Structure 1
């Protein structure tokens, strides 16, 4: 059951100016990859995650700046009706409210004995007597779980004593995702959200499609075609982007169509509608995280050569797996035009390596240490550039920032492996273990 609360204490009527009314507004927010890593780790260790929601979270944080508000109706002073209140705590609508809430919660958790993650500042870990408790913060939503039921209950009691809490229980819904935890593992899927967006855009009765995009589809600006409603097109793209945190299979198609939001045409809308018809065919497709799965780390990298028909830039496609659990992926157009397939593959591998080191640093907070991590690439030429310095005389045009891939290979942080398209997973596993 979802409890809805009306917000009554809201700052309104004035526009805050940076440097005068506030200095800093940044508040750390957990990345979706961090949430998926936590789900995969919890499933592997076999403990269930719980969720709690803080009521009126932004009203708990203390603010450092001087902020004054009018006396609210019903609370006016009879003795001083013309005076104003000076705020000690934040209100909804203030720029610094999220930061003040995070500072308040962080202070409480550190006092409780938690240690903050070295990379992910929304991750807090507590070790006590051989047991571990993990807490992940996403603004006012808190996910937590651990190896000891008593430690989990103690933390929940402490939080309830300090803050007004709601929605405490097993994690089932988070950021539009449905999460089902069982002894066999954890299943994450957006079935309910999929049905909602199909209904929103009147596509509930449309014919399902088995693929998100035809392999022969080649979108371009198509300026001669009829223009469509830009607001509706952007709404459709935005709705589909909320599916991508659990639907890797539509990531490329959605990002491709998103490039034409400035001036959408009929061909672009038809492509987007086809993407909608694909989740209708697979409404409950999602991510499965096995219980007891190994926590080895590996990644895959690929790129198309000059795939964009407008500027001929290539697209980098990467994915990272924690054991058998898919926890991170991306489909992103490269910043520069590649002069060869080798260069496109090399740049994609370099961007994949960046994400790998963020994950490696994050997982170190969970107590996981890694040696050489396999990076599987389907281009022997790109691997040769990273391994052989003699070839660098031919690659001076490649930006220096991409050559750190070779540096980390020499340091032994990664192991570049050639993978053939369509190769059996068992062969990949055997090659990595050997």
Structure 2
């Protein structure tokens, strides 16, 4: 870095914009434990009953127009605080983004859902992202979608994440801009979004002299993969906005390689829907590396860096 940029040595980085950073020989651990405790105290949730997941699988939020209105300023403050926490807590990304859709007219049900997230943070204040020091810079992407998951307008929710080997470096959970007429269309749009992010990361990393061939993009929809590889537009794709067809273009150019992954190994589920405790903790810990400092070291010693990669190819 010092060969490319003008830099000054100010000691080992420990705090940065609310992020707490611990560097060691095995890797780097980034978390916001102090910030988590601060917002729990700020919103009087410090003594709340802990919960094991940020959202119940039975939760189905909608506008709830007949529900009791709550303080909009307080609700927006809670959402804003949680959104900043998602910088190191991808495990709450979906729940926070879902609740954030109702900031214009929050109701009691929406505030209860947000309080559930705070109660989950009370249970897991020390979690953060673990980056193994021996990871290579090989890029991989995952994409998935919850078709027509929004109860109001029936738009789908796209989930994507990008890895440098086993290190999670980028993720998103957002509602699609248009209504998808089929699961194939929704999956194709989500894959296009992930492709865009992978190409941006590829261009950024190439500034440091690293070159990539085909970047794997893992999708659990064989139909979406077929659409991306089919050079002829057919009835399945006529409703898809033309801006998403650059995915097919980059597949043909060899920049992106779409690979099918079985649904059981599709880790992006954590960004598209509420999950049961067992599935949620598996994706959160072993696969996304959202761990505590103690458990991150234990995971590395118990499994080793090689086995941490094996589940990609199952």
Please report the RMSD computed on the Cα atoms of aligned residues, expressed in angstroms: 1.6
For 1:289, the equivalent position in structure 2 comes to: 131
How far residue 291 of structure 1 moved from its aligned partner, in angstroms, is 1.0
The structure number with the bigger radius of gyration is 1
Q: Residue by residue, what CA displacement relative to the aligned partner does 1:156-210 show, whole Å, maximum 9, x if unpaired? A: 4xxxxxxxxxxx3211111211000111110001100000000000110001110
For 2:16, the equivalent position in structure 1 comes to: 174
Relative CO higher for 1 or 2, CA cutoff 8 Å, sep ≥ 6?
A: 2
Residue 389 of structure 1 aligns to a residue whose secondary structure is coil
Distance 2:102 2:171 in 1: 22
How far residue 430 of structure 1 moved from its aligned partner, in angstroms, is 3.8
Q: Which runs of 5+ in 1 are unaligned?
A: 1-124, 128-132, 136-143, 145-154, 157-167
Distance 1:360-1:398 versus aligned 2 partners, 3 A rule: same
Equivalent positions of 1:383-422 (< 5 A) are 383-390=225-232, 392-422=234-264
Q: Residue by residue, what CA displacement relative to the aligned partner does 1:280-319 show, whole Å, maximum 9, x if unpaired? A: 1111111101112111100100000111111111111000
Equivalent positions of 1:20-419 (< 5 A) are 125-127=1-3, 155-156=8-9, 168-390=10-232, 392-419=234-261
Q: Residue by residue, what CA displacement relative to the aligned partner does 1:207-264 show, whole Å, maximum 9, x if unpaired? A: 1110000011000000101100000000000010111011111001000000100100
TM-score w.r.t. the length of structure 2 is 0.83
Distance 1:207 1:362 in 2: 44
Residue 158 of structure 2 aligns to a residue whose secondary structure is strand
Distance 1:376-1:428 versus aligned 2 partners, 3 A rule: farther
Distance 1:126 1:392 in 2: 52
For 1:62, the equivalent position in structure 2 comes to: none
How many residues are aligned here? 273
TM-score w.r.t. the length of structure 1 is 0.61
How far residue 394 of structure 1 moved from its aligned partner, in angstroms, is 3.1
Partners of 1:194 and 1:279 within 8 A in 2: yes
Distance 1:386 1:428 in 2: 25
Distance 2:312 2:241 in 1: 33
Partners of 1:419 and 1:428 within 8 A in 2: no
Distance 1:256 1:194 in 2: 20
Ranges of 4+ aligned residues in structure 1 off by more than 4 Å = 424-428
Partners of 1:376 and 1:418 within 8 A in 2: yes
